[in-house]
């Protein structure tokens, strides 16, 4: 066995809880509101955060059962610090060992202060172990240890139950009290019953089975009252059930309940996990009140798992209500002890989620209905497999509750979790205040939880948690954690939202309701959804119309700016030139006829520019077919002014595709730039303009038979070619320049014109 104390800053890995993702939504406020509503109603629970335990104890032997049993045993050496027990019933070839660790101002000891070993293979010493209380009134806490006595290869058991008394040096090595199988066969369910007869000595219980001499057998629970010499040799009280084939039911679980009715006598909880109630194996729990003569013969209180059949998942009704019981102390500060009952295989919409029921004490005894029901709310969590009174871990004066869910899965399969609930004037909440988880597959953390008492004397009670599936290089060795209490509760733990979001709870409540109410809710829901959808649609429609109106206004504003810029830069310059030439026309006509030619050329260019502006504004000219036709007409007129013939090869039919102003403008200016280059630099005698449509690509080709391309066609060749490339790139196209084999230049312009892109403003 190895022990190690957690170093400051060294924390156990964090548990991971997967969050739901709702994808990507636009910034519409209505869609953001939808995200909020869905996330709040059905969103995933937040995950457990990082956890830390101040003290960790690891086993050393594979499958040794280390941590199968852990318990706070009180102060066995009366030094003012609580001590703890850890058992490993399968150590040493199933001989078993039990270890006691003493508390101190520095916390628990690093090595066991007391150790007991089984003698024979199959003894399984420590198969049952628990605090006994002070059975002989000497002021020292005592400990119960059960030995299974199962011999390898056989089915017979020879159970021994012993009490080891405390002393100033710790537990004594010789047993104070021992009972062995004889006429009665004892079980390994052992523990302290408290002081049920008020004589000042702690009493203990042991489960038992009496083999039948005939066709019946008896099973139940025995209670032995304490005295100055220890418990009596024969049982002082018993409860039993009789039948031909009893399953481990009545007496297989029991716990000291404390004084639930304030009469000054401790009471006893007894479970019968297989008892039939609403379900064939739903389980029951019973409370027997203490009195001056000891426990009463008949139960003063009885509870069973009684959720309606329509809300459970298991058709066989195996809930095991009463499998695990705990006296909690006073969780609501009313002066009466309260109790908890676990139903680890209970279903309420989630298979084997497990449930825990808390009942408050009062002057009349335990409440008839649970004051709090806690659900695992996760398939196969098996919440309530262990339950314990944690003491007062945060020092607020209210007792707290601890529970384990050893098969809960978060980031790892069956990693397990343990949670603690803070006491309050109204009782505990449905969500735990502190939690730790296993963070390793099959770790099964929380298979046993127990109140440790105050092991370091700081005034806060501490919590024991077992991790039986913990692995090391030696195999499955087991681990025990001791989580120290503090003013803030369990040190290093985080919160765990155990309850489902309100949307999921609403769905479950509807499923739980009788059929008429479910139909009424369905009709109301449909009506509400219809009205909600109608009004939401109207709001979304208004929002969309507002967005479209803004986009249209922005597009119109940009178009106005472009027209103004074109009029200023193009037509303005040409009109200014005409204004300078006309006054000089008369005096220059006889001397220089070139001025008249210049005037005619400028007027023709002005006409073309004006036609271009009118064409760009005409909505009937925004189709692809009209665009190509007008482009051909412009090329012919422009080249006619330079005395260059233009041969056009244009498609007869083109698709009815609408082009945005920007797409038309960029293609037109690119073609215009190419034609200007031909006139200014090519020295050509002929020009060809070709258009081809290969869905969804428009290809325009401008060819000439001039001098060809310059040596460089990059930026050094001038801004014209660069501008053409940039214009095509702006609308998702590209330009290519190449020489013709017959001489001259070929300019290819290609643009993909999908319907959505061609019509998109500013695309």
Spans of the chain, pLDDT less than 70 = 1-53, 151-156, 183, 211-217, 243-248, 308-315, 492-515, 517-518, 560-621, 711-719, 755-763
Same domain membership, residue 547 and residue 690: no
35 phi and psi, to 5 degrees? -60, -45
Q: What is the pLDDT of residue 622?
A: 76
In a domain, 656, yes or no: yes
Q: Are residues 574 and 640 in the same domain?
A: no
Contact 705, 684 (CB under 8 A): yes
Based on the domain organization, do 562 and 645 belong to the same domain?
Answer: no
Residues 644 and 569 in one domain: no
Q: Are residues 710 and 578 in the same domain?
A: no
**Bridge partner list, 404:** 386, 418
Q: Which residues pair with 180 in a beta bridge?
A: 160
Element (H, E) at 263: none
Q: Based on the domain organization, do 671 and 557 belong to the same domain?
A: no
What the block records as the tokens of 714 is 């990059």
Cis peptide before 696 (omega within 30 of 0): yes
Structural domain includes residue 325? no
Nearest to 108 by CA among 8, 3, 2: 3
pLDDT of res. 293: 96
Let me know: does 699 contact 649? Beta carbons within 8 Å: no
Q: The pTM is what? A: 0.65
Q: With the CA atoms of 543, 546, 550 and 555 taken in that order, what torsion angle do they form, in degrees rounded to the nearest 10? A: 100
Q: Does residue 575 sit within a domain?
A: yes
Strands 687-694 and 646-649, by their bridges, are: parallel
Q: How far, in Å, CA of 417 to CA of 439, rounded? A: 9
Let me know if residue 503 belongs to a domain.
no
Q: Is 495 exposed, middle or buried (0-12, 13-18, 19+ CB in 10 A)?
A: middle
Number of structural domains found in the chain: 3
Please indicate, yes or no, whether residues 109 and 226 belong to a single structural domain of this protein: yes
Residue entry with tokens 């012919």: 636
CA-based nearest residue to 498, from 401, 355, 366, 399: 355
Domain contains 447: no
CA distance 38 to 35: 5
**Where a domain ends, among 220, 243, 266?**
243
85, 205: one domain: yes
Tell me which DSSP letter residue 679 carries: I
Domain-ending residue, one of 243, 273, 296: 243
Look at residues 141, 110, 102, 144 and name the one whose alpha carbon lies nearest to residue 125.
144
What the block records as the tokens of 325 is 């019981």
Residue 297: inside a domain: no
Q: What are the beta bridge partners of residue 4?
A: 56
Query: What pLDDT was estimated at residue 392?
Result: 96
DSSP 3-state percent helix, strand, coil across the chain (nearest 5): 25, 30, 45
* Tokens matching residue 535: 């009004």
Asked if 536 and 626 sit in the same domain, the reply is: no
Cα angle 393, 399, 404 (rounded to 5 degrees) comes to 70
Give Cα 369 to chain centroid, integer Å. 32
Contact 180, 158 (CB under 8 A): yes
In terms of domains, do 632 and 531 share one?
no
Does 685 lie in the same domain as 572? no
Domain boundary among the residues 557, 582, 607 is at 582
Phi, psi of 748 (to 5 degrees): -110, 125
Q: Which CATH number fits the domain that encloses residue 733?
A: 3.30.565.10
Q: What is the 3-state secondary structure (H, E, C) of 401-460?
A: EEEEECCCCCCCCCCEEEEEECCCCCCCCCCCCEEEECCCCCCCECCCEEEEECCCCCCC
* Tens of pLDDT, residues 620-679: 667 888 889 888 988 988 888 788 999 999 988 888 888 887 888 889 889 989 998 898
The parent domain of residue 533 ranges over 515-582
Q: What is the pLDDT of residue 226?
A: 97
The pairing of beta strand 745-752 with beta strand 284-288: unpaired
**Which candidate, 102, 184, 199, places its Cα nearest to that of 141?**
102
pLDDT of residue 746: 93
CATH number at residue 231: 2.130.10.130
Are the beta carbons of 264 and 197 closer than 8 angstroms? no
Please name which of 471, 470, 417, 472 lies closest in space to residue 446, comparing C-alpha atoms.
Answer: 417
Tell whether 692 is covered by a domain.
Answer: yes
Tell me the angle at which helices 624-640 and 661-677 cross, rounded to the nearest 10 degrees.
30
Identify the DSSP state of 678: I
Q: Is 251 helix (H, G, I), strand (E, B) or coil?
A: strand
Q: Is 163 domain-assigned?
A: yes
655 and 577 in a common domain: no
The pLDDT assigned to 25 comes to 30
């Amino acid at each position: 066995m190895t022990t190690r104390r957690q170093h400051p800053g060294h924390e156990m890995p964090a548990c991971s809880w997967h969050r739901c993702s709702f994808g990507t939504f636009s910034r519409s406020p209505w869609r953001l509101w939808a995200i909020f509503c869905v996330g709040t109603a059905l969103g995933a629970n937040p995950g457990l955060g990082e956890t830390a335990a101040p003290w960790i104890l690891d086993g050393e032997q594979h499958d040794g059962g280390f941590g199968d049993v852990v318990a706070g045993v009180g102060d066995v050496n009366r030094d003012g610090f609580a001590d703890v027990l850890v058992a490993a019933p399968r150590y040493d070839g199933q001989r078993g060992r039990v270890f006691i660790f003493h508390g101190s101002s520095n916390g628990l000891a690093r090595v066991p202060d007391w150790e007991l070993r089984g003698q024979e293979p199959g003894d399984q010493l420590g198969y049952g172990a628990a605090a006994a209380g002070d059975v002989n009134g000497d002021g020292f806490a005592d400990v119960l240890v059960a030995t299974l006595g199962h011999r390898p290869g056989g089915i017979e058991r020879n159970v021994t139950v012993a009490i080891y008394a405390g002393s100033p040096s710790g537990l004594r090595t010789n047993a104070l009290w021992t009972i062995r199988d004889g006429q009665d066969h004892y079980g390994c369910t052992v523990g302290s019953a408290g002081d049920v007869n008020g004589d000042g000595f702690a009493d203990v219980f042991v489960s038992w089975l009496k083999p039948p001499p005939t066709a019946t057998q008896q099973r139940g629970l025995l209670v032995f009252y304490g005295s100055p010499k220890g418990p009596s040799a024969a049982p002082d009280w018993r409860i039993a059930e009789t039948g031909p084939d009893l399953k481990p039911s009545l007496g297989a679980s029991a716990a000291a309940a404390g004084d639930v009715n304030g009469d000054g006598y401790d009471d006893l909880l007894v479970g019968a996990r297989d008892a039939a109630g609403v379900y064939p194996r739903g389980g029951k729990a019973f409370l027997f009140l203490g009195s001056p003569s000891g426990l009463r013969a008949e139960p003063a209180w009885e509870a069973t798992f009684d959720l309606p059949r329509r809300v459970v998942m298991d058709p066989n009704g195996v809930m095991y209500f009463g499998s695990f019981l705990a006296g909690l102390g006073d969780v609501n500060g009313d002066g009466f002890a309260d109790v908890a009952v676990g139903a680890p295989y209970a279903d309420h919409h989630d298979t084997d989620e497990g449930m825990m029921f808390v009942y408050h004490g009062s002057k009349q005894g335990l409440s008839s209905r649970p004051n709090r029901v806690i659900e695992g709310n996760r398939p196969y969590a098996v919440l309530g497999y262990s339950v314990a009174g944690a003491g007062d871990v945060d020092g607020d004066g209210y007792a707290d509750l601890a529970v384990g869910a050893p098969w809960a899965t978060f980031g790892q399969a069956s990693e397990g979790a343990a949670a603690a609930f803070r006491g309050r004037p109204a009782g505990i909440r449905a969500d735990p205040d502190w939690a730790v988880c296993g963070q390793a597959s099959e770790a099964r953390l929380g298979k046993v939880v127990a109140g440790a008492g105050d092991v370091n004397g700081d005034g806060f009670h501490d919590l024991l948690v077992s991790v039986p599936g913990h692995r090391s290089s030696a195999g499955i060795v087991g681990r025990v954690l001791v989580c120290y209490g503090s003013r803030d509760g369990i040190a290093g733990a985080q919160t765990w939202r155990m309850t489902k979001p309100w949307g999921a709870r609403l769905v479950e409540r509807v499923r739980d309701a009788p059929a008429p109410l479910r139909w009424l809710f369905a009709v109301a829901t449909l009506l509400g959804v219809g009205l909600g959808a109608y009004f939401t649609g109207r709001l979304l429609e208004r929002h969309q119309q507002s967005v479209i109106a803004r986009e249209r206004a922005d597009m119109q504003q940009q178009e106005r700016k472009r027209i103004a810029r074109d009029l200023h830069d193009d037509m303005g310059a040409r009109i200014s030139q005409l204004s300078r030439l006309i006054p000089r026309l008369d005096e220059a006509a006889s001397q220089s006829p070139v001025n008249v030619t210049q005037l005619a050329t400028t007027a023709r260019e002005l006409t073309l520019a004006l036609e271009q502006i009118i064409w760009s504004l005409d909505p009937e000219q925004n189709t692809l077919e009209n665009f190509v036709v007008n482009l051909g007409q412009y090329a012919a007129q422009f080249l006619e002014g330079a005395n260059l013939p233009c041969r056009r090869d244009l498609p007869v039919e083109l698709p009815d595709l609408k082009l945005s102003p920007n797409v038309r403008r960029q293609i037109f200016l690119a073609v215009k730039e190419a034609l200007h280059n031909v006139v200014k630099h090519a020295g050509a005698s002929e020009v060809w303009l070709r258009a081809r449509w290969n869905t969804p690509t428009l290809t325009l080709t401008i060819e000439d038979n001039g001098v060809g391309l310059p040596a460089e066609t990059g930026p050094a060749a001038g801004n014209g070619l660069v501008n053409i490339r940039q214009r095509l790139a702006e609308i998702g196209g590209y330009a290519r320049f190449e020489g013709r084999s017959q001489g001259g230049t070929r300019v290819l312009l290609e643009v993909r014109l999908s319907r959505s892109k061609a019509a998109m403003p500013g695309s």
